[in-house]
Amino acid sequence: MMNGWTMGLEGWLWMAVWAIAIVVVVWLLVREPRASEPEAALETLRHRFAKGEISPDEYERARHLLES
């Protein structure tokens, strides 16, 4: 409840709840996606092999590691 120009305990609690909610939303928006997805890693590996960035031996070794 508001008393003149000051906030009561309820006002401070609601302000804290909203501040935490805003921080959580910002964190969810700016965090990096999880790179541990096996399909995404295999797709990246395939693209690198197709571009010629890695040799066939490196591709096979990395694919074997990712699939195990």
pLDDT in tens, 9-56: 888 999 999 999 999 999 999 987 665 677 888 899 999 999 999 999
Report the candidate in 43, 61, 41, 40 with the shortest Cα–Cα distance to residue 51. Answer: 43
d(CA 68, CA 3) in angstroms, rounded, equals 65
Residue 31 or 59, more confident: 59
Residues 6+ apart with CB under 8 A from 15: 7
pLDDT in tens, 7-22: 788 889 999 999 999 9
Model pLDDT, residue 46: 93
Residue 6 or 66, more confident: 66
